[in-house]
Chain A
Amino acid sequence: MKFKQIAGGLLDRRYFLKKSLVFSVAASIPAYLTAQTPLELERTQWMSEPGLGFSNYGQPSPFEKKTIRWTMANSHTPGNGVSWTPLQDLEGIITPSGLHFERHHNGVPQIDPAAHRLTIHGLVTHPLEFSIENLLQYPKISRICFIECGGNSNAGWHKNPIQTPVGNFHGMVSCSEWTGIPLKLLLNEAQLQPQAKWLIAEGGDASLMNVSLPIEKAINDCFVALYQNGERIRPENGYPLRLIVPGWEGVVNVKWLQRLHIASQPSMSRNETAKYTELLPSGKAQQFSFFMSAKSIITNPSFGHQLNRFGLYQISGLAWSGRGKITRVEVSADQGQTWLDAELQDPILSMCFTRFRIPLEWHGQAIVLSSRATDETGYVQPTRTELIAQRGRHGYFHYNAIVNWALSAQGQISHVYN
């Protein structure tokens, strides 16, 4: 069977699958039949002594200490900052809870769930409060979805391409299985009044962060999550309760959720006016941008990785869209001149990370690797040039351009613009 190989060394995505069906026919005599004296059985240190005992809560291997969130905070106010998911060190689509990115405005509150209430009021017939104990008794749903900060990848607007691991550049996105109560269920209990058009969600941290959402999104697919990846949500992700707004910018997924104010208008809070709005070249700014548009990144190999042999590699990356399922990811090895479809790994879920893979035959050729995502609405991830032509360079939020990694003849990777 012949495999199409295109410019730069990319191979048909079915290469690995088909290759495994080819059996070796060259016969050789096994060593054990010819050896003069019996060889000693090998036994490592770990095969020679009992292992450690049981633990109440498992931890990563001590050999994986480098797989951590990179943290960045204001030195005067250490609770105001970000930690980034190390995407370059992870595989699959689930982000371990302890590596989920963080954006806090004034630290992580250690909320006692017994003292926490969710209040629903405003344009409702029955203003209500819910204790966590009561919420735990409601029917629940689970959904695997990404959360991406609206400010993720903002270094892409810089004049020169930033040279940093992919997680430190694009790691304000993570993907978890969230479990909680459909918001519609709680809103139905409170009974929305006809003038209800917006839902203002507020967190119970020291910044009392609040944002406004159109009520139709709240009714359609939002939920209040109690669990993340099977366990109760971690404090830094909103314990005991977080709003999940699938596909929309991270800031609206309000952590430490304590209040839902139903209104006929948005509140025009700081985080929907002064922040999380995108200034355009005209001097006007986009407000209520919400949707995180389709995006993809090759995570392996990426900046900081070193190719140290010739031969076959598997390129692996992530794609996601806030408007639905990823339908296609193409990879180029020649600065976007020719593209080849990557294999999309199951499951392919709406508003969720999709893992893509494609083989690369590398023999020291200097190439530029890029990935381009398409979602089910037909939207195609733009090049940086296209994005800047539309939005200028001072929008800061919602950067989703194609990312290019230049692979040198020495096997080193740097970030380049197209």
Chain B
Amino acid sequence: MSIIKYGLIVFLSWMNPSHAGDALSPMLGNPLSEATIQQRNFTVFQNGQGLPVGQGGVTAGKKIYTSRCLSCHGFEGSGNSAEELAGALHRLTDNPPDKTIGTYWPYATTLFDFIRRAMPMDSPGSLSTQEIYDVTAYLLFLNKIIDHNQTIDNKSLANIKMPNRNGFINHYKNNN
């Protein structure tokens, strides 16, 4: 709420963090075209929305993994300096638990999304869509989620039921 006096806008409600959104806006945002949004939109949802058209397979994925991922993530997804991706020896209720893609990750779409965003760390963005699908397929194979001759694509990835799909409790929803 405000009144205008001598060109000054006088706030009637005290500015504090909870009221701050009521402040007037100079409205300086620029409209965006659909094409620009598409170019900037990296989001992939667990239902597959946002996945680019494409497909990939285990054999090709193994080659990419060996040349681009293995130096940090180790032979068959474990043992080197980076995150353990596969080869869990313990269940989540064991001491210690092994939190791999196969034992912990609830959605396969997250794999494609994260690899496209951030991997490989020395050159993020350098894998093609095809290569990302390939290496995603290989990681699912290493975790015994798909067979060696199975392919994945932008339609099937969201339908893959990950072993820990129901392993999460929405703490926010339960406590608010």
Residues of A within 8 A of B (CB): 74-77, 79-80, 105-106, 119-121, 126-131, 134-135, 137-139, 141, 143, 182-186, 188-190, 200, 202, 206-210, 214, 219-221, 223, 246, 258-259, 261, 263, 265, 267-270, 273-274, 277-291, 393-394
**Do the beta carbons of B99 and A279 come within 8 Å of each other?**
yes
- CB-based nearest A residue for B109: A268
Pair B17/A267 contact, Cβ less than 8 Å:
no
Stretch among B58-66, B112-120, B140-148, B149-157 lining the A interface = B112-120
Q: Is the CB of B167 within 8 A of A284?
A: yes
B82 touching A74, Cβ below 8 Å: yes
Whether the pair B29, A207 counts as a contact (CB closer than 8 A) is: no
Q: Which residue of A lies closest to B26 (CB)?
A: A137
- A221-B17 contact, Cβ under 8 Å, with A274-B105, A285-B167, A286-B169: yes
B130 contacts the other chain (CB 8 A): no
Question: Is the Cβ of A208 less than 8 Å from the Cβ of B124?
Answer: yes
Is B67 close to A, CB under 8 A? no
Q: Are B110 and A287 touching (Cβ within 8 A)?
A: no
**B107 touching A273 by the CB < 8 A rule?**
yes
B residues in contact with A289, CB < 8 Å: 171-172
Q: Give the interface size bracket for B toward A.
A: 35 or more
Q: Do residues A106 and B172 form an inter-chain contact, with CB atoms below 8 A?
A: no
Instruction: Report B-chain residues with C-beta under 8 Å of the C-beta of A190.
Output: 29
Knowing A137-B26, A206-B121, A282-B93, say if A267 contacts B46 (CB, 8 Å). Answer: yes
Residue of chain A at shortest CB distance from B27: A189
Whether B23 pairs with A273 at a CB distance below 8 angstroms is no
Q: Known pairs A269-B110, A283-B97, A284-B169. 17 more at Cβ < 8 A?
A: A76-B72, A127-B31, A128-B30, A131-B30, A134-B28, A134-B29, A139-B24, A188-B25, A207-B118, A208-B117, A261-B43, A267-B46, A270-B110, A273-B168, A274-B104, A278-B171, A288-B172
Please give, as numbers and ranges, the residues of chain A lying within 8 Å of B25 by CB-CB distance: 138-139, 185-186, 188-189
Kindly list chain B residues whose C-beta atoms are within 8 Å of the C-beta of A143.
Answer: 17
Contact of B28 among A138, A202, A207, A283 (CB under 8 A): A138
Interface residues of B in 36-83 (CB under 8 A from A): 36-37, 40-47, 71-72, 80-82
Q: A282 contacts which chain B residues (CB < 8 A)?
A: 93
Asked, given contacts A210-B117, A279-B97, whether A288 binds B170 with beta carbons under 8 Å apart, the answer is yes
- Provide the bound-state CA to CA distance between A77 and B72, in Å: 9
- Tell me if B106 and A208 are in contact (CB < 8 A): no
Q: Which residue of A lies closest to B81 (CB)?
A: A76
**Interface contact A273-B105, CB-CB below 8 Å:** yes
- Closest A residue to B37 using CB positions: A121
Whole-angstrom CA separation of A397 from B74 in the bound complex: 26
Given contacts A189-B29, A208-B42, contact A74 B118 (CB under 8 A): no
Q: Does B18 contact A (CB under 8 A)?
A: yes
A121 touches B42 (CB 8 A): no
Given A119-B40, A138-B26, CB of A208 within 8 Å of CB of B168? no
CA distance A106 to B82 in the complex (A): 13
Nearest chain-B residue to A126 (Cβ)? B31
Asked if A221 and B18 make an inter-chain contact with CB atoms under 8 angstroms apart, the answer reads yes
Q: Is the CB of A284 within 8 A of B168?
A: yes
* Any A CB within 8 A of the CB of B7: no
Counting chain A CB atoms within 10 Å of each CB, the highest count among B47, B97, B107, B172 belongs to: B172
Residues of chain A with a CB closer than 8 A to B114's CB: 269-270
Q: Is B4 an interface residue (CB 8 A)?
A: no
B10 at the interface (CB under 8 A from A): no
Of A131, A186, A288, chain B has the most CB atoms within 10 Å of the CB of: A288
B121 to chain A, nearest CB (A): 5
B161 within 8 A of A: no
B15 at the interface (CB under 8 A from A): yes
- On whether the beta carbons of B172 and A290 are closer than 8 Å, the reply is yes
Report how far A268 CA is from B47 CA in the complex, Å.
10
Whether the Cβ atoms of A185 and B21 lie closer than 8 Å is yes
What CA separation (Å) do A128 and B32 show in the bound complex?
Answer: 5
* In the complex, residue of chain B having the shortest beta-carbon distance to the beta carbon of A288: B172
Q: Specify the chain A residue showing the minimal Cβ separation from B117.
A: A208
Question: Would you give 29 A-B contacts (Cβ < 8 Å), ordered by A?
Answer: A77-B72, A77-B82, A80-B121, A121-B37, A126-B29, A127-B32, A128-B30, A130-B29, A134-B28, A135-B28, A182-B20, A188-B21, A189-B25, A189-B29, A202-B43, A207-B118, A208-B118, A221-B17, A259-B41, A267-B44, A268-B109, A270-B110, A273-B105, A273-B106, A273-B107, A273-B110, A283-B97, A285-B104, A394-B95
Cα–Cα, bound, A261→B41 (Å): 8
Residues of A within 8 A of B175 (CB): 291
The 3 closest A-B pairs by CB, nearest first: A184-B21, A128-B29, A288-B172
Say whether A288 contacts B171, CB under 8 Å. Answer: yes
Q: A76-B81, A267-B113, A284-B167 are in contact. Are A207 and B99 (CB under 8 A)?
A: no
Taking CB atoms, residues of chain B closer than 8 Å to A134 are 28-30
Q: Which residues of B contact A188 (CB under 8 A)?
A: 21, 25
By beta carbon, the residue of chain B nearest A77 is B121
Across the interface, name the chain A residue whose C-beta is closest to B124. Answer: A206
Considering only CB atoms, which chain B residue lies closest to A394 in the complex?
A: B97
Q: Would A129 and B93 be within 8 Å (CB), given that A76-B81, A265-B45 are in contact?
A: no
Knowing A119-B40, A269-B110, A279-B92, the reply to whether A184 touches B81 (Cβ < 8 A) is no
